[in-house]
Chains A and B, each alone.
Chain A
Amino acid sequence: MSVLTGKELRIVGFLCNWCSYGGADTAGVARATQPTDLRIIRVPCSGRVNPLFPLKALLSGADGVLVSGCHPRDCHYSAGNFYARRRLELLKEFLPIIGINPDRFEYTWVSASEGQRWQQVVTAFTDRIHKLGPAPRFKDAEPIYDLPGALTSLVRPLDCGGNPALDELKQQIRDALADGHLHCVVGWQQGYDPIHATPLHMRKPEDVDRLIWGPFNIHSTANMITQLIKEAQDAAMVGVKRGDPIPPAKKVGVVVKGCDSKGLVELLQEKLIDRNAVEIFAMGCNGTVSTDRILAKIGNTAARVSAVSGKGDTLTVTADGTEYTMSMNDIAQDKCRACKMPSAKVYDHFAGEPVTVAEDAVPEPAAIMAYLDSLTLDQRMGFWKGQMERCIRCHACRNACPMCVCREVCVADSREPHWVTQDDTVTNKFFFQLIHALHLAGRCTGCGECNRACPVGIPVGALKMQTGRIVQRLFDGYQPGTDADAIPPFLGYEVEEKNIPEHHIERA
């Protein structure tokens, strides 16, 4: 439906039934004149407002979205608005990274008796939207195809020579496999060529021989954990008859770098895995590489690599008969450049000495974030338009994410609810990325696997990094995956929020 052209803009409101909808009614009873633009959707509680609703509205043509609920402490359902406050503040601060002016989204608290205030809120917000004018539409954005190639500096020297304690690690795994209490131990082995690795499921001591540790054990082993635990549970059920007691499943072993362990800890925080279901083997990581960067250095993405050797900063790759030397500085993955936790902090076995980074070392901000920060709102929208044109909806980004435990029932594949449709539009493809980013807010450990997995090289991790920045600011530097007892910020609340400001639209 189109708005009354020339007079109105499309402004959508989500109002909680008990306070704000009542407040709007009170304003009506008092005949408090308001501009006509606003269209109100009634919800039982501001806590019902999934941030995806305002986001969908804004991406689909709304010029402004307003959410209003009971005042904190007065929620009809006692705590709904506490959660809403955190989630909607996240949304508001997230919007600029995709090129939407955050002033177009507002959330506030209006009680059922505050009719006059509701009038002021609606008038002020409508005026604000009119001053901003019609919102730029994503579908009409001019695509920008530039992608920054800048490399950030390494926060510590990286070493592609592997870890001398690898034999110790292998022995620890062999010893653990010996008594059969482990279903398997997952690690890495060489893949089809020396610069590609694949997951290694070690079940017998001989399997352990193939374990590698070095610049090529790139994949997140945390990603495989939930599936392997399920596998172990299923294995325990073999031969069990109905009515028999269910025997305990064997433990699953996992070899982790520092970043992998963060994924594991986040899974522990959310109680998605039991600490007793996993046995963690850890060793210090000296950095991993981007195979794309290696192949770019060689100059041939189809190069046939026959040998690789690494020492210190220098990697020597033999491809198609020619030797290429390259520096870790040029080929290390972006996440390794800024890594401050190369060694797991939660583990059952640790081989060798922990690799640490100085407490006061300050990593450079990610290049993609610096780039996006330098763009205007319209340019950012164009950037994402340009990037998402390439998306083929393979969902590799989702599949590579350790925190994505929904797997076959992912919201992207469902009609109930129908957030993402089959429409082959850039907006639709982009909406999936936004869902993923918001679902990971406060949970993303920055493992960067989504970026790595994307076959067409879209920097989808930037959206999660944006939520990460917001979470750090709102919740006193909170980092997901570092404290197994911490409650993820969007699954909790404080009655008084230190860092979430009050938004007084009517006092503009």
Chain B
Amino acid sequence: MRIGVFICHCGSNIAGTVDCAQVAKNATAFPDVAFATDTMYACSEPGQDAIVAAVKEHHLDGVVVASCTPRMHEPTFRRTVERAGLNRYMFEMANIREHVSWIGKDKEANTNKATELVRMAVEKLRRDAPLYTKKFDSVKKVLVIGGGVAGIQAALDCADAGIQVVMVERETSIGGKMAKLDKTFPTVDCSSCILGPKMVDVAQHPNIKLLAASEVTNVSGYVGNFTVSIKRRATYVDWSKCTGCGLCTEKCPSKKTPDKFNEFMGPTTAINIPFPQAIPKKAAINPDYCRKIKDGKCGVCAKVCPTGAINYEMQDEVITEQVGAIVAASGYDLMDWTVYGEYGAGRYPDVITSLQYERLLSAAGPTGGHIQRPSDGKEPKSVVFIQCVGSRDRSIGRPYCSGFCCMYTAKQAVLTKDHIPDSQSYVFYMDIRAPGKMYDEFTRRAMEEYGTEYIRGRVSCIQPNGRGQYLVRGVDTLMGKPVEVLADLVVLAVGVEGAKGAGKLAETLHISYDHYGFFMESHCKLRPVETNTAGVFLAGACQGAKDIPSSVAQGSGAAAKVIGLLSKPQLESDPQISVVDIKRCVGCGKCVDVCPFQAITKQSIRGEVKAQVIEAVCQGCGLCVATCPQGAIQLSHFTDNQILAEVNALCQC
């Protein structure tokens, strides 16, 4: 080979503690090195031009650049060598800045270390081979999991761009948590009024296929070509016939069905439409509470339904869809706050969650928008809001902030005053987080214009006082005194976590998730809507607690990524993937079993079983290579011999 070595000064970043000229001089003695020099800024335009020129002048067929971390400039220099006419994989980098010049000042040791790292890079390059990308077709369709505001935004943006969308929503209606809200901060807009039109757009968009009461059960395949299994739950109502007239709901005798949409704040009927603006506006039966399905008695809804849509024999159905990309927008749920025994652990009827309170505030809610105490239906005059219940609390393993509770608590305090002018609200807080536009102004209004009493301190316990009220005992840290408030109603701003079942969904999608069920993004700063699994994107609270504008922004962001991915006529594969040498493969299948992405299959080739890599799915981790006993499968650009070359460059006895 004829290898060119370039030692970058990076100004004084490297040259300050490494004798770059000496390293270049040492490199000329290495086998196959035809040219070695030091350069001021290799990544700059003149620096890159010098590399291109040297390749041409010295007929180089491989380049080593010793400079910063490859995680920064490997793509840059690969493009440089490509411009010089070489295959971009005939290039190696030695990290002599982050790993050498920046971590010590001993020039002799650093120069020696830099020389050795360059030697390692040269030895690897000597075993490198040109790699070529392949192109393959993709399905111009996206699966959006979750019909909350983030999923809705992602679906609409993709559909408007001409991409077919399949939206899968677990509940019988889309809208997610936003549909449960009464008003939204900081404008106190009616939530369903602003969300409603978007929901209708989803239902009516010609490019969107909406599958409600459905769940994703299996995903296989790879970016551009996913095969998704979706289970459509039996609703016992034929939605192609149901007009959403609601007659069934009026006549249903089973009136003690738990009402999930209303956060179990009041009963509903076994057959119902969850809320007036539901999309799809179709009825569904809860089979555990339907007398016909459980006991064989009743059947009233079937009798009164004008279109004959009821079908008590309906079964779950599993369908398959082929999609090119997936957006996970499964949202959040409130954590189980009953771990707080000091707040009653759920035993006290008038200690409720913020979402439950939201349903009380809502005109479409179980109390018609009248704030009533669950215990006796009376209007509360003294309402205590407790923030950070299950957030920022290391003692129960929830150290993080849930992001929007300070804002919605202020909103709820404002609304409480609107509903009950002679009420007094108290908010126990640790800090006020109001980072968005007009947010701080809003919380200030809650304090100054609406007379909400903000107390900086936590609540140590809530005790019913036997006379219908609750003694809320906390502390005012600014005054330095304990405080006690007699409350008619206590509203807890409960911390959020990934939606129920998020972990299982993550495993189905082959993406990572954390302890709290939030999905892991590719890079916490620079790639918040991508995952490390090609073709799977994130939007909304499933990636981390966030408010509505951020969720909508991420919905559009994920859509942009999907559009960018699927707008290419064909997708290009990364050639740093595993390849099977079928001469050496004995078909034992160990690689097939360990591949985390199921990217390897067993094929019959001339009557013999051999492993074969699905190129588009392989992510290039190399686990298969470490597993294969005879080394029949090798990861291009990180083969055993290439890594051994680096090891042997260092250890030679």
Contact = CB atoms under 8 A, between A and B. Distances in A.
A and B touch in the complex (CB under 8 A): yes
Interface of A: 1, 4, 7-8, 10, 12, 17-18, 21-22, 24-25, 27-29, 31-36, 39-45, 47-50, 53, 56-57, 60-62, 73-80, 83, 87, 119, 137, 139, 233, 237, 246, 270-272, 405-407, 409-411, 414, 416-419, 439, 491
A116 to B, nearest CB: 12
Contacts of B567: none
Nearest 10 CB-CB pairs, A to B?
A: A28-B98, A48-B622, A417-B640, A60-B651, A77-B621, A47-B623, A79-B596, A45-B621, A50-B626, A417-B631
B647 A53 contact: yes
Given A29-B102, A77-B619, A246 B607 contact: yes
Nearest to A404: B629
Contacts of A39: 113, 116-117, 120, 650
12 contacts: A8-B109, A25-B69, A36-B109, A43-B622, A44-B620, A47-B626, A57-B651, A60-B651, A61-B653, A76-B621, A119-B103, A237-B607
A273 B586 CA distance: 12
Nearest to B511: A78
A76 B534 CA distance: 12
B629 A439 contact: yes
B151 to A, nearest CB: 23
A85 B109 CA distance: 33
Contacts of A41: 120, 643, 646-647
Nearest to A79: B596
B652 A4 contact: no
Given A28-B102, A491-B594, 14 more contacts: A33-B104, A41-B643, A45-B621, A48-B635, A74-B512, A75-B512, A78-B597, A80-B622, A80-B623, A139-B653, A270-B589, A409-B584, A414-B630, A416-B641
A32 B103 contact: yes
B97 interface: yes
Interface in B500-519: 510-512, 514
Contacts of A246: 607
B625 interface: yes
Given A80-B596, A419-B640, A1 B623 contact: no
Looking at B112, B116, B584, B651, the one whose CB has the most chain A CB atoms below 10 A away is: B651
A270 B590 CA distance: 8
Given A24-B98, A48-B623, A78 B596 contact: yes
Contact of A406 (B109, B586, B653): B586
A12 B651 contact: yes
Nearest to B637: A44
Nearest to A56: B647
B581 interface: yes
B648 A414 contact: no
Given A10-B651, A53-B643, A491 B627 contact: yes
A36 B100 CA distance: 7
Contact of A79 (B98, B581, B623, B626): B623
Contacts of B621: 44-45, 47-48, 76-77, 80
A134 B362 CA distance: 74
Nearest to A16: B621
Given A1-B650, A416-B581, A25 B106 contact: no
B630 A411 contact: yes
Contacts of B593: 491
Contacts of A73: 512, 514
Contacts of A44: 576, 620-622, 635, 638
Given A48-B625, A416-B631, A27 B103 contact: yes
B372 to A, nearest CB: 45
B2 interface: no
A206 B545 CA distance: 78
Interface in B171-186: none
B70 interface: yes
B104 A406 contact: no
A83 to B, nearest CB: 6
B632 interface: yes
B110 A36 contact: yes
Contacts of A405: 586, 588
A61 B652 contact: yes
Nearest to B103: A34
B583 interface: yes
Given A77-B623, A417-B631, A137 B588 contact: no
Contacts of A45: 621-623
Nearest to B632: A409
A39 to B, nearest CB: 6
B71 interface: yes
A87 to B, nearest CB: 7
Contacts of A42: 70
Interface in B345-366: none
B649 interface: yes
A25 B69 CA distance: 7
A442 to B, nearest CB: 12
Contacts of B510: 78
A87 B629 CA distance: 13
Nearest to B514: A73
Contacts of B622: 43-45, 47-48, 80
Contacts of A410: 630
Contacts of B648: 56, 60
A414 B634 CA distance: 13
A56 B597 CA distance: 29
Contacts of B646: 41
Looking at A40, A49, A60, A78, the one whose CB has the most chain B CB atoms below 10 A away is: A78
Contacts of A418: 640-641, 644
A48 B638 CA distance: 9
A18 B522 CA distance: 10
Contacts of B336: none
